[in-house]
Structure 1
Amino acid sequence: MVIELTESFEVLDPRFRKLAFPNVHVEELWTGCRWAEGPAWFAAGRYLVWSDIPNDRMLRWDETDGSVSVFRQPAMNTNGHTVDLQGRLVSCEHRGRCVSRTEHDGTRTVLAAQFDGKRFNSPNDVIVKSDASLWFTDPSYGIDSDYEGDAAPGEIGASRVYRIDGASGAISVVAGDFVQPNGLAFSPDESLLYIVDTGATHQADGPHHVRRFKVGTNGTLSGGEVFATCPVGLYDGLRVDVHGNLWLSAGDGVHCHAPDGTLLGKILIPETVANVCFGGAKLNRLFICGTTSLYAVYLNTRGARPRAA
């Protein structure tokens, strides 16, 4: 006898049933954003930080009591975040047009603001690799209007994906053939890099897919074939679990793709989802940034973390 999952889930492949629990529902933790984005989990403090981009603030949800407070405001219209190997917050700033780091004492360090003497467009999402390198995307959303940043002309003339070397801080282009590069995530063994292209926002019939690259030992990428195309809205931010499954934000919730590309199922959310991250004591709770709200759901899997270098 098959015990059906709750109405929070849509099963498209039997394998999805092993990743969810029959008695679990999606929980709304907080609402009141204009465009929620970029969740990052801090295990030591048991809290989540995420962006509310148009309101120019970062919010903090405390797991110990469920309270929400303002983490930082103004916040340079930050978008995506990650936590580096030393437990520091790394942020993509639309208004700052840079990638910055919040030190343990609260001070801000700019890690990358220019390439070849030209300012970035508006860094969007960032991830860390086990060698301490940081990888980030740089579409134009933060300079397209004053809603999520400061309207301004682009200087670089392209929307690309970059790598910041963990030892030297040197910045290099790792992918340049994107319309609007967006969310990105490594496979559990870091041999693959998945990068979303949301170019359909700027081109008729433009890309609304995620591509898969092979990661070289020297920090280069190869391949880049389309891994999956979003059937509802646009894929945006994503995370990968320990089994290599992709959890992708989409127009109707979160889509789960197996490593072979099959769409296994969906977590249904009543708002467009922008980004997700795994958190909680066992990394088995998926936090979901819907348009105006923060949601969470427990899953029968765990988020992948940078492997030991």
Structure 2
Amino acid sequence: MKMNRNFAALLLLLLVGCNPSDHGLIANDGSLTLVADGFQFTEGPASDSLGNVYFTDQPNNRILKWDSSTGKVSVYLEPAGRANGLYVDRQGHLVAAADEVFQLWKIDRNKQHEILAADFEGRKFNGPNDLWIDKQGGIYFTDPYYQRPYWDRTEKEIEQERVYYLSPGKKEIRVAADNLVQPNGIIGSADGTTLYIADIGDSKTYAYEIAENGELVNRRLFAGMGSDGMTLDEHGNLYLTGDGVTVLDASGKKILHIPVPEEWTANVTFGGKDQKTLFITAMDALYSLPMKVKGTRF
């Protein structure tokens, strides 16, 4: 199974002409490699300061960990609130969009969780999906509605599908972005000045300026395509997911497409000890691809 998928991944790269020298992004002789499979649906990859990568197997209600020292994958937390998106904060805590209970969690080193956000104005969220943490510790998170088979409810408590901001310190929650059909992927630039939000329901990705108080201003259309999860590299290139991985430069121009031999690519992040390996969650599997560029977390 692994050999077949790895061969298929390599063949796809060759067929579409993903020559590393053409783009300056993929490492010389770098090839897409199947790291692990046998899951139900992988999502939410996030790396810590040591390059370890955490990701979710949401239908199986667990968070897994790829160890940067051993290269092995193991179960990190189970059950896990059917977590979807993940992010590691500056203190090394894992922050999770706990979709099962419509909450945002902070998971400490003892694997105990604290509820950071549970509702907005007394109504439960639709289902926190993906998140990004700014330099001050504020958290932006998307809240689309995807009816889950494990929910008792069958309708929204909040009609609008928005992006929220959980402020640091005071822990106040406010609407950060609305006028969106179905926000999903989210990522901020390393300098903290720009936030990218994918409106997967409208096949668009927007760029917002981040004001000093965390407010999002001056929205502009960045790409005429949406995305599930997404990430950025050190040069400001944006990596979108869905059909493989599509890379856009800082101006929004498509510069690379990385095919993945799966029906859907859900999310992507940089990890490894040097932060120069691209990790891709796709259907029941986790893939990796050596890169020439590093990822950026803050």
User: Which blocks of at least 5 consecutive residues in structure 2 are unaligned?
Assistant: 1-9
Give the aligned partner of residue 182 of structure 1: 184
Partner amino acid for 1:146? P
Select which of 242, 254, 257 maps to 1:266: 257
Flag as ranges the 4+ runs of structure 1 deviating above 4 A.
Answer: 9-16
Q: Is the 8 A contact 2:265 2:281 kept in 1?
A: yes
Q: Is the 8 A contact 2:248 2:256 kept in 1?
A: yes
TM-score by length of 1: 0.87
Write the deviation string for residues 248-289 of structure 1: whole angstroms up to 9, x where unpaired.
1122x1110001110001111011110011111111111100
Q: State, as a whole percentage, how many aligned pairs show the same letter.
A: 34
1:224 aligns with 2:219: yes
For the aligned residue pairs, the C-alpha RMSD in angstroms reads 2.1
Query: What is the CA–CA distance in structure 2 between the aligned matches of 1:211 and 1:236, rounded to whole Å?
Result: 13
Once the two structures are superposed, the pairs formed by residues 54-203 of structure 1 within 5 Å of their partners are 54-141=59-146, 144-146=147-149, 149-199=151-201
Residue 219 of structure 1: CA displacement?
Answer: 1.0
Query: What is the CA–CA distance in structure 1 between the aligned matches of 2:40 and 2:32, rounded to whole Å?
Result: 20
Residue 7 of structure 1: CA displacement?
Answer: 5.0
User: Which blocks of at least 5 consecutive residues in structure 1 are unaligned?
Assistant: 200-206
Residue 163 of structure 1: CA displacement?
Answer: 0.7
Partner amino acid for 2:186? L
Query: What is the CA–CA distance in structure 1 between the aligned matches of 2:284 and 2:156, rounded to whole Å?
Result: 29
Give the aligned partner of residue 204 of structure 1: none
Query: What is the CA–CA distance in structure 2 between the aligned matches of 1:303 and 1:163, rounded to whole Å?
Result: 23
Q: Is the 8 A contact 1:100 1:108 kept in 2?
A: yes
Matched residue of 2:97: which SS?
strand
| 1:208/1:15 CA distance change after superposition, 3 Å | farther
Select which of 242, 260, 270 maps to 1:250: 242
Write the deviation string for residues 219-257 of structure 1: whole angstroms up to 9, x where unpaired.
111222221123xxx521111111110011122x11100
1:35 aligns with 2:26: no
Query: What is the CA–CA distance in structure 2 between the aligned matches of 1:223 and 1:165, rounded to whole Å?
Result: 20
Write the deviation string for residues 112-133 of structure 1: whole angstroms up to 9, x where unpaired.
0111111111000011111111
Residue 13 of structure 1: CA displacement?
Answer: 11
Residue 176 of structure 1: CA displacement?
Answer: 1.2
Query: What is the CA–CA distance in structure 2 between the aligned matches of 1:25 and 1:12, rounded to whole Å?
Result: 10
Normalized per residue, the structure richer in helix is 2
Query: What is the CA–CA distance in structure 2 between the aligned matches of 1:114 and 1:15, rounded to whole Å?
Result: 49
Query: What is the CA–CA distance in structure 1 between the aligned matches of 2:25 and 2:12, rounded to whole Å?
Result: 15
Give the aligned partner of residue 213 of structure 1: 208
